[in-house]
A and B are shown apart, each in its own frame.
Chain A
């Protein structure tokens, strides 16, 4: 029973996650490129922005 469930669930999950990731990449939400922070005008590197 467990094996049957896993054989069904596994491909379904993989397909949905894969499609979501592909869709995200198509719309630019996900990118494999390294994220580059926007330039900061301060003379020193700031820790971050709140």
Chain B
């Protein structure tokens, strides 16, 4: 497993940071109001940013990222191996390879959705905890801790809520109704950080209809969307898709694995807890249908996203293949075992098992070595560290406008790979930055507006050719950070009336003349931050309890509790 993880990550584990699309880590991230999803855009990275900000107060962000990158394949692989315990070494190896090495994992990793991949990685552990909980009534701390690790972003939280809901609430098993509701409430509470912040946001999570089309699952070959989805690929962004996904082997492998999965479901049901297994399989299927809906029923999908509060969560439909990818990794090896059982010759059986173990790697060989170099670590130039210090030393109050007015960057130091502007995470103050998303579709560029009201004011001011000094004070902005050499060029009039206070390399810092409006923390903000603190304390307490229980078990030489992530 470690060998597979190292073969896959390769240069991503080198010195520095992997900066790929939405994946941005910095040495130290400040804990700000916007980190909690307040006073800005929709809380898409909550509580992910809170956790990273807290961790980077004590550990360099580069190390945090390395641990995350390695944890995803290892946790996923170990989880599947544990679920397949008793099926034999070959079946376990098949499961591990499928869990670590598949199109869903690599496409999501290149686009930078590492927190969603943590959700993916914890799914087998959550399933194991649910089985244990229904059968024995034990394993609740493990369930909550795994769910916490997998609920760092809203989509991950929603996925896990769905996964645990029916197995927790369905009658049967040893749990009383009171305990079922208590555990379910605990999993719901883990989602409060982003849920409360989203409810406090004026847009309530709806999205423009353009967004639904732009982020729809796309076919990776002439075989269309359905076969692409069944082979676990189809991310909307063709730029992150590996060349091997265009080969005919990709859909063939997909069909083979889905066939083995269908073949293996009955066998899994016989050994696993029936409610957990049936619900997991049904949910995986429903996720696949949801993923395909925008490609097959575009109009209806767009309407759904525009009108449904929180509809923005559904927009990137490839995410809904998450459970299918994990169910295939768990059940396809069982199906293969069932299929080859009648073969009497042990050598033939071993050869088939070996072929199935390595098949995922052979069909997707360019996932190796950091997805063929797309995931490579780089160092930030020293001017970024000095910029953070320079902003911290400024006496003027107010937030920072980040220019040029564009959401993504291509830096030379990052080999011109597309990445979300890292400045908002570097800055020790809150910032106003472009959050609109430009996506090329059918030869045309669609721009999906951001959802931060302050960004919209800056956008309109720049579009009108007006200097920012006219709106800076009302927006609570005191400084402007300019990244020279980044596109598009900053309009000549934009910084009229400001004064340059610091510059180094490609970075410049400007100061606005007027006093900025002081940051305004509402009562709702305080409540949401309070809820975050209560949840954090609760999780630490739960972790200590689980760790303590484990330690006591070891001391008494009893069985090790495998459900605890501690």
> Taking beta carbons and an 8 Å cutoff, which residues of A are in contact with B?
2, 5-6, 8-9, 12-13, 16-17, 20-21, 24, 29-37, 40, 42-50
Name the residue of chain A whose CB is nearest to the CB of B214. A50
**CB distance A17 to B362 under 8 Å?**
yes
Q: Are A35 and B368 in contact (CB under 8 A)?
A: no
A19 CA to B70 CA, complexed, in Å? 25
Residues of A within 8 A of B408 (CB): 44-47
Cβ-based interface call for B461 (8 A)? no
Complex formed: what's the CA distance from A49 to B394 in Å? Answer: 40
Asked, given contacts A5-B350, A30-B365, A34-B373, whether A50 binds B418 with beta carbons under 8 Å apart, the answer is: no
A30 x B369 contact (CB < 8 A): yes
Q: Give the nearest-CB partner of A33 in chain B.
A: B373
Determine which of A21, A24, A48 lies in contact with B440 in the assembled complex, contact meaning CB atoms within 8 Å: A48
Cβ-defined contact, B487 with A48, below 8 A: no
Cβ contact within 8 Å between A20 and B415: no
Please name all residues of chain A whose beta carbon is closer than 8 Å to the beta carbon of B236 when the two chains form the complex. 48, 50
CA distance A50 to B418 in the complex (A): 15
Tell me which residues across on chain A come within 8 A of B181, comparing CB atoms: none
* Residues in chain A near residue B439, CB distance under 8 A: 46-50
Taking the nearest CB of chain A, how far is it from the CB of B11, in angstroms?
Answer: 8
C-alpha spacing A32/B14, complex, angstroms? 14
What's the Cα separation between A30 and B371 when bound, in Å? 9
Assess whether A50 is in contact with B218, with CB atoms less than 8 Å apart: yes
Contact A16 B362 (CB under 8 A): yes
Q: Residue B438 contacts which of A2, A30, A46 (CB distance < 8 angstroms)?
A: A46
- Asked if B237 and A34 sit within 8 Å, CB to CB, the answer is no
A26 to chain B, nearest CB (A): 11
Main secondary structure of the interface of A (DSSP, over half): loop
- List which B386-420 residues lie within 8 A (CB) of chain A: 404, 406-410, 415-418
Given A20-B365, A42-B438, list of 4 further CB < 8 A pairs? A6-B89, A46-B438, A48-B239, A50-B238
Q: Which positions 194-246 of chain B face chain A at CB distance < 8 Å?
A: 213-216, 218, 236-240, 243-244
Task: Kindly provide the distance from the CB of B241 to the nearest chain A CB, expressed in whole angstroms.
Answer: 10
Given A16-B358, A44-B487, decide whether A37 and B438 contact each other with a Cβ distance below 8 A.
Answer: no
| Pair B373/A32 contact, Cβ less than 8 Å | yes
Shortest beta-carbon distance, A11 to chain B, in Å?
10
| B376 interface residue (CB < 8 Å to A) | yes
Contact of A31 among B372, B404, B407 (CB under 8 A): B372
> Can you report 30 A-B residue pairs in the complex whose CB atoms are below 8 A from each other?
A5-B89, A5-B350, A9-B353, A9-B354, A9-B357, A13-B357, A20-B362, A20-B365, A29-B365, A30-B365, A31-B366, A34-B374, A35-B371, A35-B374, A36-B417, A42-B445, A43-B488, A44-B406, A44-B487, A44-B488, A45-B418, A47-B237, A47-B407, A47-B418, A48-B21, A48-B440, A49-B239, A49-B439, A50-B214, A50-B218
Question: Complex: how many Å from CA A37 to CA B241?
Answer: 12
CA A31 to CA B218, docked complex, whole Å: 25
Contact between B369 and A32, CB atoms less than 8 A apart: yes
Interface 1/0 per residue, B321-362 and A, CB below 8 Å: 000000000000000000000000000001001100110011
| Chain B residues, CB < 8 A from A12 | 354
Give complex CA distance A36, B90 in Å.
38
- Render B29-64 as a binary contact track against A, CB cut-off 8 A, 1 for contact: 000000000000000000000000000000000000
B274 at the interface (CB under 8 A from A): no
Asked if A36 and B445 sit within 8 Å, CB to CB, the answer is no
Report the number of A-B residue pairs with Cβ-Cβ less than 8 Å.
129
B484 CB–A CB distance under 8 Å: no
B449 to chain A, nearest CB (A): 13
Residues of B near A17 (CB, < 8 A) are: 7, 358, 361-362
Partner of A47, one of B218, B354, B437: B437
For B410, list chain A residues within 8 Å (CB): 37, 45
A25→B482 CA distance, assembly (Å): 41
Bound CA–CA A9/B365 (angstroms): 20
Q: Which residue of A lies closest to B421 (CB)?
A: A45
A49–B358 CB distance below 8 A:
no
The verdict on B441 contacting chain A, using a C-beta distance below 8 Å, is yes
- B350 and A9: CB pair below 8 A? yes
Asked if B237 and A48 sit within 8 Å, CB to CB, the answer is yes
Q: How far is the CB of A49 from chain B (nearest CB, A)?
A: 4
Chain B residues in 8 Å Cβ range of A47 = 21, 237, 407-408, 418, 437-439
Residue in B354, B416, B441 whose beta carbon sits within 8 Å of that of A49 in the complex: B441
Find the A residue at minimum CB distance from B488: A43
> In the complex the two chains form, what is the Cα distance from A45 to B439 in whole Å?
9
Within 8 Å CB of B418, what residues of A? Answer: 37, 45-48
Cβ contacts under 8 Å, B361 to chain A: 17, 20
In the complex formed, the residue of B with least CB distance to A20 is B362
Residues of A within 8 A of B218 (CB): 50
Question: Distance (Å) between the CB of B417 and the closest chain A CB?
Answer: 7
Min CB–CB distance B377 → chain A (angstroms)? 11
How many Å lie between the Cα of A24 and that of B365 in the bound state?
Answer: 7
Interface residues of B in 1-37 (CB under 8 A from A): 7, 10-11, 21
* Chain A nearest CB, measured from B97 CB (Å): 9
Contact at B438–A36, with CB atoms within 8 Å? no
B10 neighbours in A (Cβ, 8 Å) = 32
